[in-house]
Amino acid sequence: MIDLRSDTVTTPSDAMRAAAADADVGDDVYGEDPTVNELQSRAADLLGKEAALYVPSGTMGNQIAVRTHTERGQEVLLEEACHTYKWELGGIAQHSQVQARTLDGGERGVIAPEQVRNGYVQADDHRPGTGLLVLENTHNAKGGTAIAPEHIDAAAEAAHERGVPVHLDGARLFNAAAALDVPAARIAREADSVMSCLSKGLGAPIGSMLAGSSDFIERARRVRKLMGGGMRQAGIVAAPGLLALENRDRLQEDHRRARELAAGLDDVEGMTVPQPETNIVLVETDEPAREVLDRLGERDVMGSAFGEHTIRLCTHWDIDDEDIETTVERARGV
Ligand SMILES: *Cc1c(COP(=O)(O)O)cnc(C)c1O
């Protein structure tokens, strides 16, 4: 089976399994797991923030960030196809009791500073006030676009001018960093908090990191407990996470394979495939995406339906060059 549905489907390497078995552990709810503490300090360094918190999933990291930054009844500005708004079960309304105000980030999911200024709402007797701006990089739904730090800076500055904090959903921030050849910390520089997943292209079985100021992380830690995300001997899963953080350079290979996959599939009749910026390939299909996926599935190739006529394919570390060739061949058969 060639599974291109997501970069979350990777299974842990032998080294990761060995690291899990050998991990020094303690009770992380008491802050006593040395492996978790090491992971949090390494992640804080790489993300350029004072502190970081290990959380079970990217979704929980984003939800904790929204809850920590905002007060009940405020508005949150987000890109209309972003994960925090669209793919987290409306969690910001459920957990934080905030209202979403969406902005159209266009083809690449970039929010312009004017959009932040226009979307901002000043609190008064009738209006709730804007409590947070959420940005996403790479932008998943727009095909893994790697947004340059200058765009992130500009949107963040527009929010900060109005006293609005900024959260960056960097589930695939290290993909953006690899594609743009800049440190992840540079991209996240103007964000007050940033979430990044260990369990996607970096290959860890579980976990994401939420980073920010020491004060923010102290408060986020209480929200994590509230949401049931306080884990005990979590060093067992944090140890593979430490190895995952060293897989950052390997993401370039996923990006190269994604470009090759896109070029190959673009030559297949009935498919239009723009060149990807990172590891996410969006395939426009003449026929309904579901039907094309069914027929690919019969040939042991899996992808995700992303729209009526859009399929998403993700490269990751369980996909090699041969898998790319085989996928293109089988797509021709379809
Ligand atoms: C995958 C993803 C998340 C959520 O991560 P999970 O660990 O699956 O909960 C958040 N944001 C973006 C952009 C993602 O792609």
Are 172 and 138 in contact by the 8 Å Cβ rule? The answer is yes
Atom of ligand 1 nearest to the CA of 200: 1
Q: Is the dihedral of CA 114, 143, 5, 168 positive or negative?
A: negative
Q: Which residues of 232-250 are buried (b: 16+ CB within 10 A; e: fewer)?
A: ebbbbbbbbbbbbbebbee
pLDDT at 117 over 90: yes
Query: Cα(125) to centroid of ligand 1, in Å?
Result: 36
Q: Which of 138, 119, 116 is nearest to 128 (CA)?
A: 119
Q: What's the confidence (pLDDT) of residue 103?
A: 98
Are 74 and 130 in contact by the 8 Å Cβ rule? The answer is yes
Q: What average pLDDT score do residues 249-260 get?
A: 97
Q: What average pLDDT score do residues 74-85 get?
A: 98
Q: Does ligand 1 lie within 6 Å of residue 40's CB atom?
A: no
> What count of other Cβ atoms lies within 10 Å of the Cβ of residue 99?
15
Q: Which of 132, 105, 108 is nearest to 120 (CA)?
A: 132
Alpha-carbon distance values, 205 to 103, 199, 228, 238 (Å): 33, 5, 19, 9
Q: Does ligand 1 lie within 6 Å of residue 197's CB atom?
A: yes
Q: What average pLDDT score do residues 72-98 get?
A: 98
Q: What average pLDDT score do residues 69-83 get?
A: 98
Task: Look up residue 5 and give its two tokens.
Answer: 């549905």
pLDDT at 17 over 90: yes
Q: What's the confidence (pLDDT) of residue 334?
A: 87
Spatial neighbors of 8 by CB under 8 A, at least 6 apart, are 199, 200
Q: What's the confidence (pLDDT) of residue 262?
A: 98
Residue to mutate, 9, 64, 140, ligand 1, most ligand atoms under 8 Å from C-beta: 140
Domain boundaries, the chain: 2-7+250-331, 14-247
Q: What average pLDDT score do residues 71-85 get?
A: 98
Are 238 and 207 in contact by the 8 Å Cβ rule? The answer is yes
**How far is it, in rounded angstroms, from Cα 313 to Cα 74?**
36
What's the mean per-residue pLDDT of the chain?
Answer: 98
Query: Cα(240) to centroid of ligand 1, in Å?
Result: 18
Query: Phi/psi class of residue 38: alpha, beta or left (left: φ > 0; alpha: ψ in -120 to 50)?
Result: alpha
Query: Cα(145) to centroid of ligand 1, in Å?
Result: 15
**How far is it, in rounded angstroms, from Cα 75 to Cα 165?**
12
Task: Read off the pLDDT of residues 153-211 as tens digits, 9 standing for 90 and up.
Answer: 999 999 999 999 999 999 999 999 999 999 999 999 999 999 999 999 999 999 999 99
Q: What's the confidence (pLDDT) of residue 217?
A: 98
Q: What are phi and psi of 69, to 5 degrees?
A: -80, -30
What's the predicted TM-score (pTM) here? 0.97
Per CATH, the architecture of 14-247 is what? 3-Layer(aba) Sandwich (3.40)
pLDDT band at 307 (very low <50, low <70, confident <90, very high): very high
Q: Strand, helix or coil at 75? A: strand
Are 75 and 98 in contact by the 8 Å Cβ rule? The answer is yes
Q: Does ligand 1 lie within 6 Å of residue 193's CB atom?
A: no
- Name the fold adopted by 2-7+250-331: Aspartate Aminotransferase, domain 1 (3.90.1150)
pLDDT at 135 over 90: yes
Are 207 and 199 in contact by the 8 Å Cβ rule? The answer is yes
